[in-house]
Amino acid sequence: MYNARMNHESISALNKSPIVTFHGAAQDVSGSVHLVEFGPYRFLLDCGLFRGPRDEARSRNRSFAFDPTTIDAVFLSHAHIDHCGNLPNLVRQGFNGPIYCTHATRDLITVMLEDSARIHENERANPHMHRHGSSDLHSLFDFEDVDQTIGQCVGTDYLQTIQVNPDLRFRFIDSGHMLGSAMIAIQLMHGEREYSITFTGDLGRRGVPYVAEPSPVPASDLIICESTYGGKTHDSLEVMSAKMSALVTKTYERGGKVLIPAFSLGRTHLVIYYLRLWMSQGLMPQIPIYVDSPLAHQFDDVFQKHREFLVPDVEGPPCEWLESEDDAWFRSTQRESCIIVASGGMCEGGRIVPHLKYHIDDPRSTIVLVSYQAADSMGAQLLSHVPTVRLHGRILNKWIEVAEVKGFSGHADQGDFESLLADAIEGTGKVRLVHGEIPQMQALASRLREIGFRDVEAPKRKENVPLGSRTTNPVD
């Protein structure tokens, strides 16, 4: 239940319509956190880490634009770090209310946040990891904060209506983005009227079965919708299989290694599933698959626990999990062709880096990028048409074949958005686009207006949106 705190701000809100303030992922792609205020109540939709320039990220992640002790509850869409990663810091600063999430999300964030705490504590212990020496060695949170955070999580089934208090109820709807991911459909009473909010979290793709197909987005007074791939179209499953099969086949024929950098949560399991499937279908040679990601192996235990939410396993060749760096080095340097899926989706860090260093000047081998590559990332360097790359202070010849297979994204594309939002046109008041770069927001906003949504905008950070009136500030 809510522990309502009747401070000055909440008392003043009694005579206003409910308000949503966008504190993260606003005209940006990380740090998802949105504050909802109505009557005496305040709750958050997500509480993620912001990824950006070091000093800005440190400042934004450490300090909240609201008092954490006044937050009554958090509703968590899924376990990716840009949606859940700042929860322990919120708890550390005094939030003691419930964190509502699906059961699978609770299990996943246990692994994710413990790994994040280890990283923060390593940074505190190593002054050389800080640009300004030892002037800021206070970690964002620690293992004790993570334990308390997990203890405040309330696991909830999909489609179960939860009455939080007499004025607020919600339910989780499968968003098809990854294991445990959910849209959050909220109904709240304020004054004499009931209001509704739908927060999509991250929407998944249609037609790429591994987790469930994404559900249609419910109509609401306010839909808060991600926009990561607005205006873009992913490769179809058929195109993906043809590209990957051709790359694996020719690399095998010339005796090389296939390196696939992938993010540990979600992307690694999706890639493994389809590699094994396509091998079982005879689309590519059955060569060994090694997975060099201890964190993904921990997530695998959670995936096995919640297999009812995943497609049935395939009969393809098994993969071997590489736990130690010695095991990884042995497999990377052996003569036989193989596929190595390793952590570090943008090649900036993670277990992919030693493999890349060893094979980057081997023209027999191939690196296949299956994740989003930020403009200044090592992955982007690899994709650029230059003969060398700078890796950890060294200039290396880029003789390895570099390829990209885009269809492994767990995010909806333009066609998915249109299909999943179509049924909500008539009953929706406002749509606010978050979690995307401005060009993608502009493209999605234009299309949503074309198909009938009347009020579509992309709010700036700290912008307020009342549920009870129409505002105009279009992104294009």
User: Six-digit token pair at 96?
Assistant: 């003691």
Query: What is the rounded average pLDDT for all residues in the chain?
Result: 91
CA distance 173 to 193: 24
One domain for residues 38 and 118: yes
10 has a pLDDT exceeding 80:
no
In the predicted model, what is the mean pLDDT of residues 416-444?
Answer: 97
Q: What angle do CA 386, 275, 383 make, to 5 degrees?
A: 10
Each residue of 144-183: pLDDT tens digit? 999 999 999 999 999 999 999 999 999 999 999 999 999 9
Residue 414 lies in a domain: yes
Rounded to the nearest 5°, which phi and psi values hold at 403?
Answer: -135, 165
CA 476 – CA 442 distance, rounded (Å): 6
d(C-alpha 395, C-alpha 393), whole Å: 7
Examine the pLDDT at 126 and tell me if it is beyond 70: no
Classify residue 474: in a domain, yes or no.
Answer: no
Q: What is the pLDDT of residue 15?
A: 46
In this structure, the answer to whether residues 138 and 217 fall within a common structural domain is: yes
- Distance, in Å, from the CA atom of 465 to the CA atom of 459, rounded to the nearest integer, reads 8
C-beta pairs of 329-332 under 8 Å, 24+ apart in sequence: 329/354, 331/288, 331/290, 331/292, 332/257, 332/358, 332/359
Q: Which of 364, 393, 408 is the last residue of a domain?
A: 408
Same domain, 88 and 218: yes
- Domain contains 193: yes
Domain boundary residue, one of 364, 392, 408: 408
Residue 473 lies in a domain: no
Residues 6+ apart with CB under 8 A from 186: 36, 75, 168, 169, 170, 196, 197, 198, 199
The answer to whether residues 161 and 213 belong to one domain is yes
Residue 292 forms part of a structural domain: yes
Say if residue 63 is in the same domain as residue 38.
Answer: yes
Q: What is the CATH number of the domain that holds 242?
A: 3.40.50.10890
Q: State how many domains the chain has.
A: 2
pLDDT of 53 reads 84
Contacts of 427 (CB under 8 A, 6+ apart): 219, 220
Q: What is the pLDDT of residues 447-470, one digit of tens each?
A: 999 999 999 999 999 999 999 754
Any domain includes 66? yes
Q: In 330-351, which positions are buried (b, 16+ CB within 10 angstroms) versus exposed (e)?
A: ebbeeeebbbbbbbbbbbeebb
Average confidence (pLDDT) over 75-84:
97
Provide the domain limits for residue 193: 8-232+410-466
Vertex 234: Cα angle to 200 and 77 (nearest 5): 20
Q: Whole-angstrom Cα distance, residue 418 to residue 231?
A: 11
414 and 394 fall within a common domain: no
Question: In terms of domains, do 151 and 246 share one?
Answer: no
For residues 138 and 349, which has the higher predicted lDDT (pLDDT)?
349
Residue 392: pLDDT band by 50, 70, 90 thresholds?
confident
Residues 166, 20 share a domain? yes
Distance of alpha carbon 457 from alpha carbon 440, whole angstroms: 12
- What per-residue confidence (pLDDT) applies to 119? 81
More confident residue, 11 or 186: 186
User: Whats the size of the chain, residue-wise?
Assistant: 476
Q: Reduced to 3 DSSP states, what percent helix, strand and coil does the chain have, rounded to the nearest 5?
A: 35, 25, 45
Of 10-19, 151-160, 210-219, where does mean pLDDT reach its minimum? Answer: 10-19
Q: What mean pLDDT comes out for the span 48-59?
A: 90
Pair 259, 227 in one domain? no
**Residues 295, 435 within the same domain:** no
**pLDDT given at position 8:** 37
11-20, 45-54, 246-255: segment of lowest average pLDDT: 11-20
φ/ψ of residue 20, rounded to 5: -110, 130
- Residue 3 is assigned to a structural domain of this protein: no
Query: Which pTM was predicted?
Result: 0.91
Same domain flag for 220 and 143: yes
Strand, coil or helix: 373: coil
pLDDT > 70? residue 284:
yes
CATH number, residue 116: 3.60.15.10
- Measured CA to CA, the distance from residue 319 to residue 302 in angstroms comes to 17
379, 408, 437 — which closes off a domain? 408
Any residues with CB less than 8 A from the CB of 202 and at least 6 apart, and which?
77, 78, 80, 83, 175, 177, 178, 181, 226, 228, 410, 411, 435
Residue 200 lies in a domain: yes
Q: Report the pLDDT value the prediction gives residue 469, as an integer from 0 to 100.
A: 57
Do residues 136 and 247 share a domain?
no
Per-residue pLDDT at 124 exceeds 80: no
Instruction: Say if residue 57's pLDDT is above 60.
Output: yes
Residues contacting residue 56 through CB under 8 Å, at least 6 positions apart: 50
